[in-house]
Chain A
Amino acid sequence: MQLSREQMLQAYRRMKVIREFEERLHVDIATGAIAGFTHLYCGQEAVAVGVCEHLDVEDKIVSTHRGHGHCLAKGCDVEGMMKEIWGSREGLCKGKGGSMHIADTDVGMLGANGIVGAGAPIAVGAALAAKLDGKGKVAITFSGDGACNQGTTFEAMNLAVVTKAPCVFVFENNHYSEHTGFDYAVGTQKDIASRAEAFGMQVWRADGTDFFAVHDTMRELLDYVRAGNGPAAVEFDTERFFGHFEGDPQRYRGEGELDRIRATRDCLKNFRKNVVSAKLLTDSDLDEIDAAVLDQIEAAVAAAKAAERPTAADVLTDVYVTY
C-alpha cells in the first residue's frame, strides 16, 4: 500500500529526529557534559519508526537499554527526553531515571530498561490488559539479539502463545550483544525468528535498514495480531552505528565495517534514495526537514542546559504513591 506524501514526510522526520538526537548525544557525551551509561540507537531508526508509525497512544511499547529511538518514535517529547538525559529535574522522569529508564505512560511508552530481557514479560502483561479491554490494541516488546538468549524472553514468548496475548516480539538483530557476535551467542546460528516460530508464533523477517520493508511487514503483522490471532514475532536485520555504549573501543569490528555500514546500510540515505528516484518526494523536501530537525535538537540541548537541576530534597519523592 502506497504511503501518502504526509506519511512519508512524517516518517522521515521521525527517523531524522532520532538520528540527530543521537549524533548530538555522541558529541555531548564525549566532552563529559552528559554522565552515565548511554547506548545510542543510531543506525536502527527505520525499525523504531517503521513499527511505531502503526501505533496510537493506546498501543503500548516496552523498550531496552538502547531505548531513545523507541521512545522518540512512540511520541515521547524530544525536549523532555533531552532534559532527562542531561539529568534535569524538568526531564521526562525528573532526572531520576536517565538514558536507560526513559518512560512516558501517557504516550504508551512503558519504559526503557537497564535489565536485558526484562521487557518481554512486561509487554505480555500489557498485551493481556489490551486483550481484556477488547479494543484491538497491542503491546510491543523490542529485544536485541542478545536479549533473545535470556530465559525471560523464552518464558514471555510461551506465555504469550498460551494466552493468545496480542503481543508483538520485535527482534532487532544488530549482530552484536555488547562485544559478542550474534553467530557465537545465538546457538541456532541461523536466526532469531525461527526460535519464536518454535514457540508457536507466526513470524516475519525483513531488512531493518529499509523503512518501507519494516513498515510493510508491520502492517501485515499487526493486521494479524489485531484480528485476535495471538502473538507474533518479527526479526529485523539492522546495524548499530556507534559502540555498544559511548566509550566502547569497538575492537571487535571488522576492517572498514563502520564505513561500510554507514555507506550502504544507512536507513535515512536509503529512504532518500528510494523516494527521490521514485519521484515521491524531492531532495529539497527532505533537506527542509533536515534543517528543521537540526534546529529542534539544538533548541532541545539549549533547553536541557538551562533547565532546573534536581536538589537533595528530590531523592525521596516518588518512591511510593503513599507511604
Chain B
Amino acid sequence: MAQMMYRDAVRSTIFEAMEQDDRVVVLGEDVVGGMGTAGGPEAIGGIWSTSTGFYDRFGPDRVIDTPISESAIVGAAGGLALAGKKPVAELMFADFIGVSLDQIWNQIAKFRYMFGGKSTCPAIIRMAYGAGFNAAAQHSQSVHQFLTAMPGLKVVMPSTPEDVRGLLREALRGDDPVIFLEHKALYGVTGEVPDGDYTIPFGHARLARAGQDLTLVATGLMVGRCEVAADTLAKDGIGCDVIDLRTTSPLDEEAVLDSIEVTGRLVVVDEAPQRCSLATDIAALAAQKAFASLKAPVEMVCAPHSPVPFAAELEREYLPSADKIEAAARKALAWR
C-alpha cells in the first residue's frame, strides 16, 4: 500500500502502460506544455500535471502535443486506435467535448458495430469535469449523462486514487473506447493505493459505506458527499449503503437492486441536472426492477435545470451538498 494523489494515479498508470506497451500514445493540448517556446518541452508539463515527464521519457512520436483542435484530437485518437495503437487522448475540460462530439458519437462509439464487429477502437478519451471552481458555464460541466446514453462507449468515473489506477488499467487493457472522467476537485485528493498490477473490472460498483436503512447511489465527487451524509446519519443510528457506481456504462444494476431489496429506500445523487440524467436512469431501474422492495418514493439530489453559474453563492447552491443529501435521505426515511 502506498499513498497517492488522484492526479498522480492518472499519471503513473499511463506512464507504466507506456513503458509496458509501445502502442500506447498520448495526445492533447499542452500535454507537454512549452512546445515551441524558450522554456522548451515540459516547461509546464500538462495543465493537470497528469502527463509530466512523458515527453522526456517517450518523445514526440508517442507524446503528441496538439494545437487547439478538439475535433482533430479525438478523431485522430479514433484513427490511431483503428490502426492498432492505444491512444490516450486528453480533453483539457470535459466541456470541450462539444467541439469534438461528432468524432466521439458518430465515429468512435459506432465503428465496431457499423463494421460488423470486425474492428476494435480502443481509444481512451480522458477529460476533467465538474463544478466547484467558479469556472462558470463552459468549464464546469458534467457530461457523463449524455455519454452514458451512447451505445458503444464505456463511461468511467473514478472517485478514489485506487480506483483511478484499477479502472484506467482496465481501460488500457480493453479493446473498447472508454470515456474516462476525472473530477477536477479530486485531483488533489490523496488515498491508499494497493501495490501490484491490479485492475478493476467495469460494471462492478464499490460499496463505500454499508448500512441497512437507506441506499445512496453516486459517482465521482458526489460519492464523498454521500459518505459525509451517511456518517452524519449514522450518528442517529441510521445505516446507509453508499454505492459508488465507478462506471455508468456498463452499469452494475445488481449492486443497486440488491441494496434496495434490503433498504427499500433510495436516494440518487448526480452533479448534472436531473432531466434525462444518471439519477433518473437509476430511479427508473428501481421502479422497473425493484418496485416491490421500495418503501418510499425515490429521492434525487441533482443540479438545478440551469447552466453552471459563476458566482460562488450560486455555484454552492447549484452543486448537490452533503446537507441536501442528508435532507433527501431523511425525507425518504420519513415516508410512512
Q: Which residues of chain B in 35-91 are interfacial with respect to chain A, using CB atoms and an 8 Å cutoff? A: 35-40, 43-44, 47, 65, 67-72
Given the interface pairs A184-B65, A310-B311, the reply to whether A115 lies near B96 with Cβ below 8 Å is yes
How far, in angstroms, from A147 to B313 measured CA to CA in the complex? 32
Does A257 sit at the interface, judged by CB under 8 A? yes
Q: Which residues of A contact B34 (CB under 8 A)?
A: 179-181, 251-252
Taking residues whose C-beta sits less than 8 angstroms from the other chain, chain A's interface range is 35 or more
Does B211 sit at the interface, judged by CB under 8 A? no
Q: Which residues of A contact B137 (CB under 8 A)?
A: 96-97, 101, 114
Does B291 sit at the interface, judged by CB under 8 A? no
Q: Which residues of B contact A178 (CB under 8 A)?
A: 29-30, 33, 47
Q: Which residues of A contact B47 (CB under 8 A)?
A: 178
Contact between B37 and A114, CB atoms less than 8 A apart: no
Contact between B39 and A253, CB atoms less than 8 A apart: yes
How far, in angstroms, from A38 to B40 measured CA to CA in the complex? 25
Given the interface pairs A251-B39, A253-B39, A254-B38, the reply to whether A315 lies near B309 with Cβ below 8 Å is yes
* Chain A facing B: main interface SS: loop
Q: Which residues of A contact B69 (CB under 8 A)?
A: 149-151
Contact between A185 and B96, CB atoms less than 8 A apart: no
Does A152 sit at the interface, judged by CB under 8 A? yes
Given the interface pairs A98-B134, A98-B136, A183-B36, the reply to whether A114 lies near B95 with Cβ below 8 Å is yes
* B12 shortest CB reach to chain A, Å: 22
Contact between B309 and A152, CB atoms less than 8 A apart: no
Q: Which residues of B contact A180 (CB under 8 A)?
A: 29-30, 33-37, 65, 67
Does A306 sit at the interface, judged by CB under 8 A? no
Contact between A100 and B35, CB atoms less than 8 A apart: no
* A90 shortest CB reach to chain B, Å: 11
**Number of A-B residue pairs at CB separation under 8 A:** 161
Does B138 sit at the interface, judged by CB under 8 A? yes
* B99 shortest CB reach to chain A, Å: 7
Give the total of B residues in contact with A, Cβ under 8 Å: 43
How far, in angstroms, from A95 to B138 measured CA to CA in the complex? 15
How far, in angstroms, from A133 to B310 measured CA to CA in the complex? 35
Contact between B67 and A177, CB atoms less than 8 A apart: yes
Does B312 sit at the interface, judged by CB under 8 A? yes
Interface centre among A87, A88, A146, A254 (most CB of B within 10 A): A87
B93: nearest chain-A partner, CB-CB: A114
How far, in angstroms, from A298 to B188 measured CA to CA in the complex? 36
Q: Which residues of B contact A257 (CB under 8 A)?
A: 38
* A103 shortest CB reach to chain B, Å: 12
Contact between B37 and A152, CB atoms less than 8 A apart: no
Does B304 sit at the interface, judged by CB under 8 A? yes
* B316 shortest CB reach to chain A, Å: 8
Contact between B43 and A251, CB atoms less than 8 A apart: yes
Interface code B303-325, partner A: CB below 8 Å = 1, 0 otherwise?
A: 01111011111100110000000
Does A277 sit at the interface, judged by CB under 8 A? no
Interface centre among B72, B311, B313 (most CB of A within 10 A): B311
Does B133 sit at the interface, judged by CB under 8 A? yes
Contact between A312 and B317, CB atoms less than 8 A apart: yes
Contact between A179 and B311, CB atoms less than 8 A apart: no
Contact between A311 and B313, CB atoms less than 8 A apart: yes
Contact between B29 and A101, CB atoms less than 8 A apart: no
18 further interface pairs, Cβ-Cβ under 8 Å (given A93-B310, A186-B67, A252-B37): A87-B311, A96-B307, A97-B310, A98-B136, A100-B136, A101-B310, A151-B69, A178-B33, A179-B37, A181-B36, A187-B67, A252-B34, A252-B43, A254-B39, A309-B311, A315-B306, A316-B306, A319-B307
B residues adjacent to A (C-beta < 8 A): 29-30, 33-40, 43-44, 47, 65, 67-72, 95-96, 98-99, 133-139, 304-307, 309-314, 317-318
In the complex, 24 of the A-B residue pairs with CB atoms within 8 angstroms, ordered by the A residue number, are: A36-B134, A36-B136, A37-B134, A37-B136, A95-B311, A97-B136, A100-B135, A100-B139, A101-B310, A115-B138, A149-B67, A149-B68, A150-B99, A151-B99, A179-B37, A179-B43, A179-B44, A181-B35, A184-B36, A184-B37, A186-B67, A257-B38, A315-B306, A316-B304
